[in-house]
Each structure stands twice: as C-alpha cells, then as structure tokens.
A and B are shown apart, each in its own frame.
Chain A
C-alpha cells in the first residue's frame, strides 16, 4: 500500500508531556499538510510544506506546536507541554502541487 501513513495511530499522554507524530506522504507528492480534527467537526488546517519549506501556518498552530519536513519526505509534528485541549485526531495529507489531497489514517491523541 503506497498511501499516506501516520504513526502512531493512537497516543495517550499526560498533561505537560511532549509528543511527536510522524507522517510519511505518498512518495511522489511534494506537498504535505497537517490538519486537526475534534469530535463532531471537520478537519482544520494547521500547516503545510512544499518540499522541505514550511509555507503556511494557521493561527491554530500555537508556539507549543512545531512541524518539520527536513528532507522533503516524511514530516513530524511535535506538541510541547500538552494540554487537555490538544486532544484530537491529527491528520496528515499529501498532494502533488495543487492536485487532490490524500489523507492518512490519523493519529488519535488523548491528553489525560
């Protein structure tokens, strides 16, 4: 299967801990996106990369959040000093240019 993959699928952490998620896009895709989805809502945009450059960040992306895509392939999303409000599904998507975005299965974060 050559779709978008995300790891881990589930993460439970205590408030105040740091967490890191990984996304592996479809191999030929140069754009990679991060979205956050809370229960009963549609996904909300966080940030995106074209190759290794982070081109846009949402106001939702507080300074506790950082994303990287160092070699223009996989990406990591780190949340420092997690809060209960960070509990959500974190979705990664990839595309080639402005073509359709394909989503991974998501990482479900629970902050206790």
Chain B
C-alpha cells in the first residue's frame, strides 16, 4: 500500500525559531492535509492543499503541495510554546480511488521557552 515518509521524526527548538517538516510519498496524491495532535486528543486540521504547486498560509503556518504531487512541506514561523505537539501529514487520492486519508508517522515538536 501507499506509504508516507515524514521527517524529521522529532524536533527540539527554542521559542521564536522557525520550523520546517516535510512528507514524501512513493505515489501521487490529489490532496494533501496537515494536522496537529495533542496527547489524548484527535487530530486537528491545520491546512488543506488541493492543487499541485499550491502554497497556502494559515497564520504562522505555511504549507506547499509539491509539483510532482508526491510531497508536501509545512513551515511554522516564530514558534511559541503552544506549538508543541505531533504534526501529521495526510494524503488523499480522491473520488475515483477512495476518500480515505493515508497518514505519515508524525513529527514530534518540542518548543523550549
């Protein structure tokens, strides 16, 4: 089945630093999404990307849908302590191939105040 490789697995940064994480796939997706999950809670949607090459921002977050449709990255600028959590990328093929999401293994972000 499809695999999403997400990197890095973990990051330890100082408050105020910028963060970058990415996700690559062995095959294409038609939609890429980024979620954040806190311990014991469900994933919360951050950004959704629908077109190859698309660059979308949500506050301090910026994400891009790779031109090849096999990758995506997420940047967080000027990190703050509440950015702590696990960030997941997810890919979706779409109507003709099912609407299930395929998730990466997550990036654990720690922000030191």
- A interface residues (Cβ-Cβ under 8 A, vs B): 4, 6, 31, 33, 35, 40-45, 48, 56, 58, 91, 93, 95, 98, 100-106, 108
Contact = CB atoms under 8 A, between A and B. Distances in A.
A91 B45 CA distance: 14
Contacts of A48: 99-100
Contact of A33 (B40, B48, B100, B102): B100
Interface residues of B, number: 26
B66 interface: no
B106 A102 contact: no
A5 to B, nearest CB: 10
B101 A43 contact: yes
Contact of A100 (B45, B98, B102): B45
Interface of B: 4, 6, 31, 33, 35, 40-45, 48, 88, 90, 92, 94-95, 98-106
Given A40-B105, A56-B98, 6 more contacts: A31-B99, A42-B4, A48-B99, A95-B99, A103-B45, A105-B42
Nearest to B48: A100
B93 to A, nearest CB: 10
Indicate the member of A35, A98, A105 with the most B CB atoms within 10 Å.
A98
A31 B98 CA distance: 12
A105 B44 CA distance: 9
13 contacts: A33-B99, A35-B101, A41-B106, A42-B106, A91-B42, A91-B43, A93-B42, A98-B31, A100-B33, A103-B43, A105-B40, A105-B42, A106-B42
